[in-house]
Chain A
Amino acid sequence: MAAPAPKENPTEAMLASRKIPAAKGWSTAAREDAVARLRRMGLPDRRDEYWKFTRPDSLIQPDAPRAAVLANDEPPLFDQVDRLKIVFVDGVFDAQASDDLSLEGLSIERLAVSDSDLHWARDIYGVLETRGQTPVDRPLAALNTACATDGVLIHVTGTPSKPVSLIYRHMSETSDAILHHCIKLDAGAELTVLENGPAAARFNKVMEVDVADGASFHHIRAQGRDHERRAATHLFARLGSASHFKSFTMTVNGVLTRNEAVIELTGDDASAHIAGACVGDGEFHHDDTVFITHDAVNCESRQVFKKVLRNGATGVFQGKILVKAGAQKTDGYQISQSLLLDGDSQFLAKPELEIYADDVACSHGSTSGAIDEEALFYLRARGVPKGEATDMLTLSFLAEAVEEIASDTLKEEINARLESWLNRRRS
């Protein structure tokens, strides 16, 4: 009997299919290191504990599964916001559609054209990602560091007058985009980053954010509506003392989304808020995987994740708060909830707390339920028709997550999008 053919190694198949940018400049070492790390850990498979609820198959196959481009008749998000636009089409920078990359209080460069030998991003690119690989492997992030074709490197030194807006367009049904952004905020600096759009048929994105003492970072993201798109994203953040970090993500549609966030509070008195509101219908699988490490005194962290699921959609939440020894006066809060609009949908949650300090307040809660019938009747008894009343209660369910957006204008805009998503599903 002939020996079985050697099984193809998905990691090698993936690496072989990538056009790894020619080694040049400062990022060479980081990319080589990432390839070596990826080979050691291997791409995730279904047996990995960390991928128990989400099948990684379509994220690790060499070619992106085809994803139709949605004919989207909604006006683009954040259109009314004064912002600095940076546009990527299927992962490729679009200079024509982008603004001039200059703004007082920050400097912006593109990863693809940044090839000097010395660069501030050396201390961030792949560095925060590597820190985030312990204690859990995140191979898709290492793959990204190794193979990213572009991204932005933003160094914030002051308080820019407007947000930086990353716009991701999806035009090709087979695009497979890998972008990697690094953001460094100097002490006391402030920046708001907006992200929106479906990006590609398959999108692998890493954002590394280094927030120095007293700095503030706000992040508002809306993942595109294209039904068949796939995305695996990682957000790595390191927070200095008395710094603030706020990140909100809205996800509507998408056949598969895995959003990982790894946040380290390394300086005293810092705060990190991370929130997500997602709405899914039918072929929809959304996974929020969050790991927050408290490694300093008197820090606050908040995780608020809300999912509305219908027609067999699936929601996943894996969230952890790790309080290291000495991280006294930690205030940690975590809530993950799903609203199941029918009996076919499911929500899988794994909330975790691991605490090595004795003077901390940590709470977590995870629930899954249907529309509150009492509240529904109350609204209907006042004349609000059933469909409209259900939508009102659905938005009310999402409100705690949306509330995490600091700007009222953006909050309203996000709410309006959620409302119109619900509206489209009502006949």
Chain B
Amino acid sequence: MLSIKNLNVKLEEEDKQILKGVNLEVEAGKVHAIMGPNGSGKSTLSYVLSGKDGYEVMEGSATLEGEDLLEMEPEERAAAGLFLAFQYPVEIPGVGNMTFLRTAVNAQRKARGEEEMSAAEFLKVVRAKAKDLKIDADMLKRPVNMGFSGGEKKRNEILQMAMLEPKMCILDETDSGLDVDAMKLVAEGVNALRSEGRGFLVITHYQRLLDHIKPDVVHIMADGRIVKTGGPELALEVENNGYADILAEVM
């Protein structure tokens, strides 16, 4: 599904390399987790994959079902089925959450040559999905993420994911700023979306989230590359011993 080969990336503005040859294959139906200390390049990877400005790809490739992601505009990547749940969802005053969601859903459908969703149909679907995530009508009406608590923002990200039905979901530290209950709710939302045809890349600092979203594969990222790959037990090892032991072993 998602195939990253020897990805080398530097900051556009300064001569600082962040990713130093990342190799990663996420298969459909699987959940991969990336863990790693601060500054290891986890968030950069998610931004480069989704097309944020400010990075320069020096070498390597990233494809989604064979399509070259790096050649596409961010909106084309989204239409191709890539979704990034933001670590810090952006507040947008003056744009209603519903309007935003419907514009996004229909823009993607249009880009794929599919029929747009009618207002009535959209309303029906969004209400049902919002209910599962305990998002009330008021939150849907408010401007995007305005006045939302940390937990509400993350649930709103998952709602967007549920509405957009992407093929490949990247969750960038979705657990940050969440209490246990909120994390459970978010994890349930994610688990409900797990399916044969969909891949997940869950980026996190802590093993905690992985108790709720069980990964198939765990990668440890350090200094811009994946240094170790294993099963769920690798996350537990990090939880018990920290990163120091693993890093000492591989570097």
Interface residues of chain A, those whose CB is within 8 Å of chain B, are: 372-375, 377-386, 388-389, 392-393, 395-400
Contacts and interface: CB of A to CB of B under 8 A. Distances in A.
Contacts of A379: 92, 100, 104
| In the complex, the 6 A-B pairs of residues with the closest C-beta atoms, listed nearest first | A399-B94, A396-B94, A383-B78, A383-B108, A380-B74, A382-B104
A380 B50 CA distance: 9
Contact of B111 (A378, A383, A398): A383
B135 interface: no
B141 interface: no
Contacts of A373: 53
Contact of B92 (A375, A380, A386): A375
B51 interface: yes
Interface stretch (B2-10, B25-33, B82-90, B125-133): B82-90
B53 A384 contact: no
B246 interface: no
Contacts of B204: none
30 contacts: A375-B90, A375-B92, A377-B52, A378-B86, A379-B92, A379-B100, A379-B104, A380-B51, A380-B74, A380-B78, A381-B77, A381-B78, A382-B78, A383-B78, A383-B79, A383-B105, A383-B107, A384-B103, A384-B107, A385-B73, A385-B107, A385-B111, A388-B103, A388-B107, A389-B75, A392-B95, A396-B95, A398-B94, A400-B93, A400-B94
Given A383-B164, A386-B73, A386-B75, 15 more contacts: A375-B92, A377-B74, A378-B89, A378-B92, A381-B74, A381-B78, A382-B100, A383-B78, A383-B107, A384-B75, A389-B75, A395-B94, A395-B95, A396-B95, A396-B143
A377 B53 contact: yes
Contacts of B174: none
Chain A, interface SS category: helix
A268 B78 CA distance: 56
Interface residues of B, number: 28
B107 A396 contact: no
Contacts of B111: 383, 385
B75 A383 contact: yes
B73 to A, nearest CB: 7
B44 interface: no
A79 to B, nearest CB: 23
A396 B51 CA distance: 24
A404 B100 CA distance: 22
Contacts of A400: 93-94
Nearest to A394: B94
A293 B55 CA distance: 52
A395 B107 CA distance: 18
Contacts of A399: 93-94
A392 to B, nearest CB: 6
A412 to B, nearest CB: 12
B74 A396 contact: no
A381 B46 CA distance: 11
Contacts of B143: 396
A378 B90 contact: yes
Contacts of A380: 51, 73-75, 78
B101 to A, nearest CB: 8
Contacts of A384: 75, 103-104, 107
B148 to A, nearest CB: 14
A385 B75 contact: yes
A393 to B, nearest CB: 7
Nearest to B101: A382
